[in-house]
Amino acid sequence: MLLLFLLISSAVADQCSHVFDNTKYSKSTILTMKGLPTNLVYDPLSKDLLFTLIDLETLQNDEIQTKMDQYILRGGQPILIDNVNGQAAAVDVRNNRVYIASDDGLHILNGTDRANFIGMKDEDIVQLFKPRNSDNLYAVLFPDNEVYRIDENTEKHRVENVPCAFIMAVDSEENIFYECDSKFIKVLLKDFQESVEFVGIPKNAARAIAVDDNGRVILAANDGLYWLKPDNIIPKKLMNLDYVPAGVAFNGNNMYVSTTGVIYEYEMCQ
């Protein structure tokens, strides 16, 4: 009996061996799929996890366009949004709407998991971000990766003081966190004209940015997860990772992190 108890205790300890912000988490694989799942975003209303799957062979070939598909992960099953060349998604919680970015404009997801076109015809949208407390939608447009605010009429307005963005998040104060050609993470504080660069994150190490349910901006970097604060240039490390992440998203106290071929779910241990 004592041996059985020790074995069970060891298994529980192993399951709760991951630490995020001084709290123990268990890790499980919720999807394995050929390619690179990135641009993770969680919809708290539908309980869906949306992601973009990048074909690695086309990503590594400069002579052809990178193949990307937009998916919904629902009930453990990936569902392809197959009527559009999806490249990113954003969730509007206030209005119960899911935006889909494509290489030919902006769409919204309908009740049959199809993408309906709503505007920005001929625009190649590669990134989207929707702050929870704002009606603005932020988009990054290829080929110059310039950042735009998209209003309710799908009219675009250039964010002049952000030169470009390859990954991006916007907090509740509409401070814009991004990585551009410098390959370092910066923040443009609202109403300011010059960005501030964070220190302590190696060049080319940033992989994804998200905002958790507590309003914290979380960076997924090569070696772990960091909390980026607008009033401190030194990020706070919250978690170590033993793999290179490609995406991060949050569902309450739980989180999703992706890497090549897999999406993990981290659940807070009780």
What confidence score (pLDDT) does residue 57 get? Answer: 84
Distance (Å, whole) CA 91 – CA 116: 15
* Stated pTM of the model: 0.92
CATH homologous superfamily of 20-268 equals TolB, C-terminal domain (2.120.10.30)
Whether residue 5 is predicted with pLDDT greater than 60 in this model: the reply is: no
Per residue in 134-147, pLDDT tens? 889 999 999 999 99
Count Cβ neighbours within 10 Å for each residue of 7-33 and write b for 16 or more, e otherwise: eeeeeeeeebebebbeeebbeeeebeb
Domain ranges of the chain: 20-268
Give the mean model confidence (pLDDT) for residues 116-138. Answer: 94
Which tokens go with 189?
């504080």
Q: What is the pLDDT of residue 1?
A: 46
